[in-house]
Amino acid sequence: MLPDYYEFFNPVRIISGKKALESIPGILFESGARKPLILTDAAIVKAKLMLKVASALKAGKISSDAVFKDILQDSSMDTVKAAKDMYIEMRCDSLIAVGGGSVIDTAKAANIMISEDTGDLHQFEGVDRLRSPQVPLIVVPTTVGTGSEATCAAVIYDPEKKAKIQFVSPLIFPKAAVLDPRMTETIPPKLLASTAMDALSHAVEAYSCLQKNPLSDAYAFSAVNLIRQNLVKSLENDGEREEVFALANAALLAGLAFSNSMVGAVHAIGHACGAVAHIPHGIAMGLLLPAVMEFNVRRAEEYYADLLLPLAGEDIYAQTPVNVRATRTIHEIRKLQRNLNDLCGFPLTLKDAGVTATQVREIAKASINEAALITNPRDMTVADAEKILMKVL
Ligand SMILES: NC(=O)c1ccc[n+]([C@@H]2O[C@H](COP(=O)([O-])OP(=O)(O)OC[C@H]3O[C@@H](n4cnc5c(N)ncnc54)[C@H](O)[C@@H]3O)[C@@H](O)[C@H]2O)c1
Ligand SMILES: [Fe+2]
């Protein structure tokens, strides 16, 4: 059924494929930019991924001297400020993020501080608080999860509030997303699995949340299809390049979907897990997804039933009676989790991932304040969140 009203917007130029990195200088020239600040992190440098970016920039006569690489997982407000200071000190005119969601979101948040000319990021927290056009930001993702290269959101950890705070605005969209297979080939198996589960949770939540629309549905559906075709296979084949790159495209598609439809309780509880217990975002997503779906199923049955087709393929979809398709979809996600556990040690419980029983109440309470809950198909209380967490603990 069509929603009464919807909007869909995505201005990000997408460049995906072999030698995509070589297009970066041209995009910078078109924007009148010559001196980017490159944001990345230590593991990306260690994996020699920065060398490939530097070589593409050099070939296009763009300097790669300004590099900010002190970004930790789930980047914080202090890191964002340090990146902004370096941008100003080095007289840069644009940004390039090379990394996973933590690097990309740091670049987006630094861009807010630079473009709004502010020392206080808090002023811009929430939805539609930005006022100024942002400096050109080009994103080169190196994980296969967040889709942040094509979303209008940034998530940053605030140590004072002990919470992950969000910035959402159409001004946050990067100028370009550059997907190059050379940038995802070093991804270790467990990171591949956990970030792909983040992408799957984006697609499932986008397809079933209150702001879903026909365009976000199309992107979400295609993302799930690519994940079924490539996730398990890529792990069985030792990270075969084409399959991993298909997953990078799935993450992009899921990002395009949820950036317009928003997400739901998997992300509300998952962000709280990250803030309280500091577990990786994709692992929290993969663990919480089926449990939250069980909670939501009576409000989202039709949508979960649809997703059985891309998730399990035509035969299983056709053989499964209509009234049990939704529960079969949840079952297939649990089966996928067990498969990932066998293939790369993806945890099967929150405890295995590092969450303790004493943290459950705090996580449940924090999740209720998350914006993602607004679009969840079913209202959730602290007690509901606690029950979901206990199921997965
Ligand atoms: N803005 C959005 O739309 C959005 C959406 C979902 C999640 N997020 C945020 O993104 C963050 C998570 O990002 P993530 O899951 O991409 O992980 P990440 O960026 O935190 O990276 C995890 C680790 O993997 C390493 N790594 C990344 N790519 C690698 C590669 N190719 N080879 C070897 N090592 C590599 C990194 O250096 C890091 O140590 C969370 O903070 C989450 O809240 C943002
Ligand atoms: Fe996510």
Q: Looking at domain 189-392, which CATH architecture does it have? A: Up-down Bundle (1.20)
State the distance from the centre of ligand 1 to the C-alpha of 266, rounded, in angstroms: 17
Q: Which residues pair with 163 in a beta bridge?
A: 158
Token pair for 98: 């090379």
Alpha helices in the chain (DSSP H): 24-30, 42-46, 49-59, 77-89, 101-115, 189-208, 214-236, 241-261, 265-277, 281-312, 314-319, 325-344, 350-353, 360-368, 382-392
- In the structure, which protein residues have their CB atom closer than 6 angstroms to any atom of ligand 1? 41, 43-44, 47, 73-74, 99-103, 105, 142-143, 145-146, 148, 151, 153-155, 164, 184, 186-187, 191, 195, 198, 281-282
Per-residue pLDDT of 274-296, as tens digits, reads 999 999 999 999 999 999 999 99
Q: Is 10 strand, coil or helix?
A: coil
* Ligand number with the minimum distance to the CA of 279: 1
Q: Using one digit for the tens of pLDDT, what is the confidence trace for 222-281? A: 999 999 999 999 999 887 889 999 999 999 999 999 999 999 999 999 999 999 999 999
At 278 the pLDDT is 93
pLDDT digits (tens, 9 = 90+) for 316-348: 999 999 999 999 999 999 999 999 999 999 999
In the chain, what percentage of residues exceed pLDDT 70?
100
The answer to whether 187 and 239 are in contact (CB under 8 A) is: yes
Predicted confidence (pLDDT) per residue in 109-130, tens digit: 999 999 999 999 999 999 999 9
| Closest residue to atom 3 of ligand 1, CA basis | 148
Residue intervals in the chain for CATH 3.40.50.1970? 13-183
Mean pLDDT of 72-79: 91
Whole-structure pTM value? 0.96
Q: Is 237 helix (H, G, I), strand (E, B) or coil?
A: coil
CA 140 to chain centre: 13
Q: Tell me, what's the pLDDT at 313? A: 97
CATH of domain 13-183: 3.40.50.1970
Amino acid at 175: K
Is pLDDT at 1 greater than 80 in this prediction? no
Distance 99 CA to ligand 1 centre (A): 7
Pocket test for ligand 1, best of 74, 111, 146 (most atoms within 8 A of CB): 146
> Does residue 162 carry a pLDDT above 90?
no
Intervals of CATH 1.20.1090.10 along the chain:
189-392
